[in-house]
Every structure is written in structure tokens, then in C-alpha cells.
Amino acid sequence: MSEKALSISPAQTRQRERFDRKSVAIAEKMLRRVNELTHRPEALTPFLEILRRVFVDREDASRPHGTPTVGTYCVMVPPEIIYAQGAMPVKLCGGSYTAFSIGDDTAPRDACPLVKAVMGFEEIDAMPVYQNCSLMAVPVTCDCKKKLAGYLSQRRPTAILHVPANRDRDEDMERFVEELYAFSGQLANITSKELSYENLSAAYRMMADAQYQLSRFIDLRRKNPLLIRGTFAMAVMNAMSYTYAPDWTKQLAALNDELEALARKKEMAVRENQPRILLTGSPVIFPNFKLPLLIEEMGGLLAADETCMGERGLYDPPAVADHTLDGMMRALSNRATRPCTCPTFADNKRRVYRIRQLIQDYKIQGVVYHVLRGCLVYDYEYAVLEEEMGKIGVPIIRVETDYNEEDVEQLRIRTEAFLELIKYGGGQAK
Ligand code: SF4
Ligand code: SF4
């Protein structure tokens, strides 16, 4: 028995048993609801299996034997650098209601549930995918992430990355390149592998394969009638957080092949004449799938999402102008920040532009704006988006949620009313 296990008190043991029971039950319930949605492609199975493996069976991320993992807390940590140095990234922003309730005792009341869930996982020490990480990487984006970085760094090796708030200042952007080099130095300490032109080029190729499959997937998601439900697509993207990139790429290639075959045969598409919805706002992290599930269970078609557990982290390829190691690092720094639509940047016109683009491409009829309680940065941007949606005649609803099931009935009523409004009021982009 480890020293840590021996030092666990009876109260902690009881807390741990409660955690085991409740968190597994919630993850199983969410997976069952995902499985019960109609039009589920066969090739979705491996993605749901990885979520089951991590959240129900409590196994580690799916990775090659002996590969260390690095916990990342934002899409702004470039996976290429981690793969280049012989480790694997796992995205650890938390979506667990049970971990949230434990973190709620440690964090201030108004901290966001995502950060409380991460703190709960740290306290309970029961999730291999968290516990086995050799290094944590936390970009300092909002206040909650800043305090999380401090909390984690007192407990385990942590790389704290300062992210520029203003992307127009060259010196701020230059600082982020330096942050990535410093992060690479910390990685070398755990993997004993320095970054080189060769290994970074290989990691670029690995992620380019993933990007290619993602671009096929995005094209297929744009089809009308819909070929794949948004809840399924969110499961695909969440599963990426815990899967070795080449394996995820293969699984996505198989899913794309299946969807293309369906498109050719003109069958199995989700043909219901229901409102096509865009989900945007605070991150939607498994097992907190209550909003996408409610939208689709109430008859809406979740046609697209603009969230950071969606395609945000992989959508834009790095543009390399200078084919040296430094040139590639600069391209990663630019890709992580410049096109990013996260509202933690001071200026964020990109987000409005991107959402208008998604509305056109996916023929969106209504927008659901998700705000996690305490997530000020997303809440701030609601008013801007509401005004923009007013200009183009697309209904939008702001939905504030927390990590519990107490608000489900109220959310159900509001979602249903919103879908009815679009159906009978005719939400059409001008
Ligand atoms: S919402 Fe923004 S800061 Fe938070 S993880 Fe996503 S991209 Fe990073
Ligand atoms: S961006 Fe929002 S959800 Fe993400 S850590 Fe900050 S407050 Fe929490």
C-alpha cells in the first residue's frame, strides 16, 4: 500500500466511496442518454468507449505504454510540443458534478464549476487520468484559471503560461513564444527529450492528419439534412481529450467514411423537421452534457457548436512562414492565440464573426448561449452577441447552469419554449 493510501482518514474514505458511487452513476446516465438518441452511427462506439473507460471504469487515458501524460487546462497549449517531446496531452478541464461538490468546499462560492471540479479531482485523488499526469500546463486566461494554477503548483509540477490579453501588441505576443519555450524546458525535465526541428516536424504531421479528418468531419456536419447529431459530435471532440492523437484520427476517419456512405445512399440522415441550433458559450465537458442532451431530447437538432471542447483547438492549422524550429514555435504561438474566439481576450470581434459564419454555413435557426455560473468572461460577451443576433433575426437564449441536476426541469421548460418559438415564430437568418 502506498504512503498516500495509508494516510487516508476514515472520513476521506467515506467521501471517496460516495464519490465513486455518485460520479460513476452520473457518467453512466449521461452515456445512456447519449446512446438513446436516434441516428447513432456505428463508428461512434470507440469515442463513447473512451469516455466510459475514463469516467465509469476509472482507467487512464488511452496511450502507448510508458508515454507520460501532461494535463492541459486550455486549448491554447499546443499539443504538437507535448507530442514532439515524447509525452501525450490530456485535457483536464473538469465536467464532473461529484468532483464539483468536493471542490465547492475549497474554492470560493463564486468560482466557476469547471475549476471547482478540477480542485475536487485533486482533493479526492481517485481519477487515474488526473492522478497519473507528470506535469500540468495551465494558461492564465481568466481569474479562475490563475487561482487554479497557483493551487495546482503547490501540489504537483505545474507549468504556468501567461497568455497575452491583447493580441495587437507584438511584445505581448513575443512573451507567449517565450512561455512556450519555457514550457518545453519543463517538458524536457519529465521526458528527458529536448525539442528539435525533427521531432516537432513529426508532431506537426501527426496533428495535421487529425486536422484533415476533422475538416472532413466539419464538411459532413454542414450537410442538410443533418448527418450527425451535435451531441454525438461533442462526444467525439471530448473523447479526443483522453485518446492518443493517431488513434483518435483513425477512429474519426472510420466515422467520416460511415457518414459519407450514408450521404451517398441518402439514408439515415436526421431528417426531422426541427430547429437547427448552435450551442456556444462556456465549455461543455463530459459528463456535463445536460445542455446538448436537453436540446436534442426536446426535438432540436444541435447542428453546430462554438465551444472550446468543440473544434476550436484544432480548427486552424498553424501557418509556418519560416521552416526552422523557431519558426514552427512562432506558428504554434500564433495558432493558439490569434484566431482563438475565447472571450478571455480583451478584443474579441473574431467571435462574432465566427458565429455569424457558423450560422450561415450550418443554416442555424437559433442560438443557445451557455453560461457556467461564475464564468464572467462568457457572460460579458452575451450582450454583444444578443445585439448581433437581433440584427440578423436569429433568436438567442442565455442559459445559466451549474454542475448539478437541480436546474434540469427549469432548463427543460426553457429549452422547449425556445424551440417552440423558433418553430412557430420562424427563426431565419436575414
Ligand atoms: S474557455 Fe477559453 S480559457 Fe477556457 S479552456 Fe476554453 S479557450 Fe481556454
Ligand atoms: S473561462 Fe469560464 S469556465 Fe473557463 S475557467 Fe474561466 S471562468 Fe471557468
DSSP of 73-103, one letter per residue? SSTTS-HHHHHHTT-EEEE-----HHHHHHH
Cα 220 to middle of ligand 1, angstroms: 26
Residue recorded with cell 478541464: 93
Cα 145 to middle of ligand 1, angstroms: 9
Q: What is the pLDDT of residue 379?
A: 96
> Nearest 5°: CA angle at 427, between 426 and 429?
130
Q: Is the dihedral of CA 225, 229, 234, 239 positive or negative?
A: negative
* Torsion of the alpha carbons at 79, 82, 86 and 89, rounded to the nearest 10: -60
Ligand nearest to the CA of 110: 2
Ligand nearest to the CA of 148: 2
Cα 406 to middle of ligand 1, angstroms: 25
Percent of the chain with pLDDT over 90: 79
- Ligand 1 atom, smallest distance to 93 CA: 5
- Ligand 2 atom, smallest distance to 343 CA: 1
Which of 144, 308, 378 for mutating ligand 2's site (highest number of atoms within 8 Å of CB)?
144
Ligand nearest to the CA of 103: 2
Atom 8, ligand 2: residue with shortest CA distance = 112
Atom 6, ligand 1: residue with shortest CA distance = 308
pLDDT band for position 311 (cuts 50, 70, 90): confident
Ligand nearest to the CA of 77: 1
Cα 257 to middle of ligand 2, angstroms: 35
Cα 76 to middle of ligand 2, angstroms: 13
List the one residue out of 109, 91, 126 whose CA is nearest residue 242: 91
pLDDT band for position 321 (cuts 50, 70, 90): confident
Calculate mean pLDDT across residues 19-23: 89
Calculate mean pLDDT across residues 179-187: 98
pLDDT band for position 18 (cuts 50, 70, 90): confident
Cα 10 to middle of ligand 2, angstroms: 33
139: preceding bond cis by omega (within 30 degrees): no
Cα 327 to middle of ligand 2, angstroms: 31
List the one residue out of 226, 170, 173 whose CA is nearest residue 363: 226
Ligand nearest to the CA of 380: 2
List the one residue out of 94, 125, 159 whose CA is nearest residue 19: 125
Pairing state of beta strands 366-372 and 396-401? parallel
Residue 227 carries which DSSP code? S
User: Measuring from each residue's beta carbon to the nearest atom of ligand 1, which residues come in under 6 Å?
Assistant: 74-76, 93, 141, 283, 308, 342, 344
Calculate mean pLDDT across residues 279-294: 96
Contact status, residue 310 vs residue 237, Cβ threshold 8 Å = yes
Ligand nearest to the CA of 91: 1
Residue 322's alpha-carbon distances to 16, 87, 199, 204, 336, in angstroms, are 51, 25, 16, 14, 17
Q: Above 70 in pLDDT, residue 268? A: no
Atom 8, ligand 1: residue with shortest CA distance = 74
Cα 391 to middle of ligand 2, angstroms: 28
| Helical (H) or strand (E) element with 280 | strand 276-281
By the 10 Å C-beta count (0-12 exposed, 13-18 middle, 19+ buried), 20 is classed as: middle
Bridge partners, residue 416, by sequence: none
Atom 5, ligand 1: residue with shortest CA distance = 74
Contact status, residue 337 vs residue 173, Cβ threshold 8 Å = yes
Atom 7, ligand 2: residue with shortest CA distance = 375
By the 10 Å C-beta count (0-12 exposed, 13-18 middle, 19+ buried), 103 is classed as: buried
Cα 28 to middle of ligand 2, angstroms: 25
Ligand nearest to the CA of 149: 2
User: Measuring from each residue's beta carbon to the nearest atom of ligand 2, which residues come in under 6 Å?
Assistant: 112, 114-115, 142, 144-145, 282-283, 344, 372, 375, 377-378
Cα 246 to middle of ligand 2, angstroms: 29
Calculate mean pLDDT across residues 188-215: 97
Residue 8 carries which DSSP code? -
| Amino acid letter, 147 | K
Atom 2, ligand 1: residue with shortest CA distance = 342
Calculate mean pLDDT across residues 70-91: 96
Express each pLDDT in 101-159 by its tens digit: 999 988 999 999 999 999 999 988 889 999 999 999 999 999 999 999 999 999 999 99
Atom 3, ligand 1: residue with shortest CA distance = 141
- Flag the least confident range among 1-5, 199-203, 265-269: 1-5
Express each pLDDT in 360-394 by its tens digit: 999 999 999 999 999 999 999 999 999 999 999 99
Calculate mean pLDDT across residues 275-281: 96
Q: What is the pLDDT of residue 322?
A: 87
Cα 142 to middle of ligand 2, angstroms: 6
- Ligand 2 atom, smallest distance to 376 CA: 7
**243 against 310, higher pLDDT:** 243
Question: DSSP 3-state assignment of 140?
Answer: strand
